[in-house]
Amino acid sequence: MTYIVTSVALADIMQLRVAVLRKGTPVTDCNYPEDAYPDAVHFAIFHEGTAIATSSWFMKECPEKPGITAMQLKGMAVADELQGAGLGALLIDAGLALANERGAAIAWARARDSALGFYERLGFVSTGDGFIDGPTEMPHHIVVRTL
Ligand SMILES: CC(C)(COP(=O)(O)OP(=O)(O)OC[C@H]1O[C@@H](n2cnc3c(N)ncnc32)[C@H](O)[C@@H]1OP(=O)(O)O)[C@@H](O)C(=O)NCCC(=O)NCCS
């Protein structure tokens, strides 16, 4: 199976975001203020017309690395039954290419601790103290990838 990463509209990925990232969480919607950023790019991988993997990317300073030109990724989600098949890594590749194009020196995310191994496998480094994310009430760390 060849999977292709494409840039899509927010509406095309919202159902997947909610299904994967708002499972059993106190907050049930998955809209981010950054979705309104004019430079936000929503990546998706589709299978038979349905989004099966997604992540969103936009320029935003990292609180752990002030003053550095940075791109943040958010809303990283792969459909439950397809996790572990390399789709997340494809999205990161696409996002890092975009970050390079846009002149970012780093890419970063607020990573769930349960996903830290994924980010570390792809060259991100956990930085700073852990924190509990508001909408999910899950433990998180900021992870940073130098470009
Ligand atoms: C985290 C997530 C996005 C990763 O995507 P994925 O498609 O499952 O990951 P991939 O198959 O591309 O994995 C790439 C590498 O990371 C590793 N990896 C993936 N998820 C991992 C995890 N949770 N912990 C440790 N390692 C992980 C894989 O084993 C693989 O390593 P390898 O190259 O040595 O085989 C996906 O599992 C997911 O949507 N999880 C639920 C929601 C979530 O936690 N999102 C992140 C919020 S910050």
What is the pLDDT, as a whole number, of residue 145?
98
With helix as H, strand as E and coil as C, how does the chain read? CCCCEEEECHHHHHHHHHHHHCCCCCCCCCCCHHHHCCCCEEEEEEECCEEEEEEEEEECCCCCCCCCCEEEEEEEEECHHHCCCCHHHHHHHHHHHHHHHCCCCEEEEEEEHHHHHHHHHCCCEEEEEEEECCCCCCEEEEEEEEC
* Domains defined for the chain, CATH in brackets: 5-146 (3.40.630.30)
- How far does the centroid of ligand 1 lie from the alpha carbon of residue 86, in Å? 8
**What pLDDT digit, counting tens, does each position of 93-102 carry?**
999 999 999 9
* pLDDT (mean) for 26-40: 96
What is the pLDDT, as a whole number, of residue 1?
81
**What pLDDT digit, counting tens, does each position of 71-118 carry?**
999 999 999 999 999 999 999 999 999 999 999 999 999 999 999 999
- How far does the centroid of ligand 1 lie from the alpha carbon of residue 110, in Å? 15
Query: Would the CB of 136 count as within 6 Å of ligand 1?
Result: no
